[in-house]
A and B are shown apart, each in its own frame.
Chain A
Amino acid sequence: MREERIIKLLKTLGVIFLLVFCLFPFLWMIFISLNKNPDFLSPQIEFVLTFRNYFEVATSNKFHLWDYLMNSLVVSVASAILATFFASLSAYSITRLKFPGRIVIPLLLLGFSMFPQIAIVGYLFGMITDFGWLNSYAALVFPYITLGLPLALWIMLSYFSQLSTELDKAALIDGASRLQILFKIILPLSLPALFSTFILTLIYSFNEFLFALMLTTDYHGRTIPVGIALFEGLHGQIPWGYIMAASVIAVIPVLILIALFQKYIIQGLTEGAVKG
């Protein structure tokens, strides 16, 4: 009895610690964004509530907040959809068709994803410039598909390998082609995996910084993480209040998406452990 209570207490403390650990930066971000005097590096913090930071970044033209947000959404949604699509095609062929190298390909892809981004950014810059894509959506969408693909492929692989191949056989017997099987049978049954792959690759592209910094030059192509990072104050100081307010606003669309798909994402991520 005593022991149970101690365990329960420890568990509760653990959860509280984790929550504080994870949520504190966000709470701090909100706190600063609402503070009239956002110099949070000084030892005495006085808090004066204001919404001026939000108002300024949302309305002032010099910040281009809505341009950045729009760019981010277009780029990340497009790359997430395409990465998920390509991942489903390849996961299907790897799990269902017999061809040489089908075991090596996912491993290679995983290996490539360990390459530091900084190692390829120089070459990528040259390539994108040659294509004439600099500062366009395409400059980010294509690299993001490549970056998201390893993760997307591995999620889809683990999901597809759990679906009975007898379904494929049955559909083959019923006269369906491989593509028909994928689109009419396998994908409708993989909605949880599709959603979680989509959301995870979307978040990845939404947050990506380095490529976005190198491959875009102004608000026509720049995404929100880079946009916010390059906010400038009046005399070159860092405008923490605006940065934090813009960050809070930038989190909202992703939060909405996750809230919408939450049920499926959890299902998709835990599907491997417990057979549904």
Chain B
Amino acid sequence: MIDIKIKNIKKTFFTVKRGKVEALKGIDLEIPAGKFFVLLGPSGCGKSTLLNIIAGIERLSEGKIYFGEKLVASSDEKIFLSPKERDVAMVFQSYALYPHLTVYENIAFPLKIARLDKDKLDEKVKWAADILEIKNILNAKPGELSGGQRQRVALGRAIVREPNLLLLDEPLSNLDALLRITMRSELRSIQRKLELTTIYVTHDQTEAMSLGDKISVLKDGVVQQIGTPEEIYNNPANLFVAKFIGSPPMNILNENLVRHLNDQLHFLESKSLENVVVGIRPEKIKIVNKDEGIINAKIKMSWSPGGDSLYYLEAERNEILAKSSEIENIKDNDDVGLKFGKDDLLIFDREN
């Protein structure tokens, strides 16, 4: 169990098509020992590049990486340790199992390379297979396995060495929805049991929210916010984070509506209307009878995708989505009132 410190990492490269590309523009992160750390961001934000740099598959252009006290990569000191020297393990989106080897040989591969003696190797492989419940498929080849089983084998190959650091690159995105949820909780319990320092890359915010002890949101090679899932959800640092986190997504209110609400709630204080963007999460909106809320709205559509009900409303020519766990007796085209407090509104500076 070690902690990882990442100091001002930059990565630039050149391509024929795009010219100079700045994939990472100065990333600072501290990953606490034994914790589950999630790198979250849309595709192309640099999260996989960052993961490869931490793993030692790619070189950084600038910056430093510490594993515990040990400097493993530095542009100034020209230090670059190989993945082997860093003792990291990684699970890939495509699983990257060796197709010509059996499950047993796949899991044993890193140990064989490390020249572990045969008895110890066998013991270790069985230990990993036991944790992942794949003892019955040890003689199969990857081609014969289902997606979920391949996932387990890839995970087995990663944990069998009991590495310093476990890196997971969108490992669940090729699984079907149901399996993804079960694997998610299993992944979490394995990580807790082994107390492995883990970095998990994903573009799926629900995955990030349910797995991470800490989440770092990335966009265009810049860290937007670092925090626990609750912090990120309740106090998003900027509009991008607020929009990216949460399902269904946050409502953005138009100027008209903001002015109208400000007359009652006075949340703008000294800020001027033109310089802010105001949002509210769908589940913070309560639907009440007409004239009993802060504003009136009309129900355009409602549906219940199992459990929660979603309402598609219009207020002040503003389309608003509300989410409620109670099934309310409302029909389409009903006029209703919307109720929420000043604290439910999220206020951001308008970006240019």
Are the C-beta atoms of B99 and A189 separated by less than 8 Å?
Answer: yes
Q: Which residues of A contact B98 (CB under 8 A)?
A: 167, 170-171, 185
Q: Which residues of A contact B84 (CB under 8 A)?
A: 172, 175
Are the C-beta atoms of B113 and A167 separated by less than 8 Å?
Answer: no
Q: Which residues of B contact A170 (CB under 8 A)?
A: 90, 92, 96-98, 157
Interface size on B, residues (CB 8 A): 23
In the docked arrangement, what's the CA distance between A167 and B57, Å?
Answer: 12
Return the CB mask of B242-261 against A: 1 if under 8 Å, else 0: 00000000000000000000
- A173 in the interface (beta carbon within 8 A): yes
Are the C-beta atoms of B113 and A176 separated by less than 8 Å?
Answer: yes
Known: A174-B109, A175-B83, A189-B100. A164 touches B55 (CB 8 A): no
- B110 in the interface (beta carbon within 8 A): yes
In the docked arrangement, what's the CA distance between A50 and B114, Å?
Answer: 66
- A130 in the interface (beta carbon within 8 A): no
- The secondary-structure label for the interface of chain A is helix
Known: A175-B83, A185-B98. A169 touches B92 (CB 8 A): yes
**Closest B-chain residue to A188, C-beta based?**
B100
In the docked arrangement, what's the CA distance between A10 and B157, Å?
Answer: 56
A186 → B minimal CB distance (Å): 10
In the docked arrangement, what's the CA distance between A169 and B51, Å?
Answer: 12
- B88 in the interface (beta carbon within 8 A): yes
In the docked arrangement, what's the CA distance between A189 and B99, Å?
Answer: 8
Residue of A171, A173, A175 with most chain B CB atoms under a 10 A cut-off? A173
- B94 in the interface (beta carbon within 8 A): yes
Q: Which residues of A contact B100 (CB under 8 A)?
A: 185, 188-189
- B61 in the interface (beta carbon within 8 A): no
19 further A-B contacts with Cβ under 8 Å, apart from A164-B94, A170-B97, A171-B98, are A166-B94, A167-B98, A169-B52, A169-B90, A170-B98, A170-B157, A172-B57, A172-B83, A173-B57, A173-B88, A173-B89, A173-B90, A173-B110, A174-B89, A174-B109, A174-B113, A174-B157, A175-B110, A189-B100
Which residues of A pack against B, CB within 8 Å? Answer: 164, 166-167, 169-176, 180, 185, 188-189
List, sorted by A's number, 17 A–B pairs whose CB atoms are closer than 8 Å. Answer: A164-B96, A166-B92, A166-B93, A167-B96, A169-B92, A170-B92, A170-B98, A171-B109, A172-B56, A172-B83, A173-B55, A174-B89, A174-B110, A174-B157, A175-B83, A175-B110, A176-B109
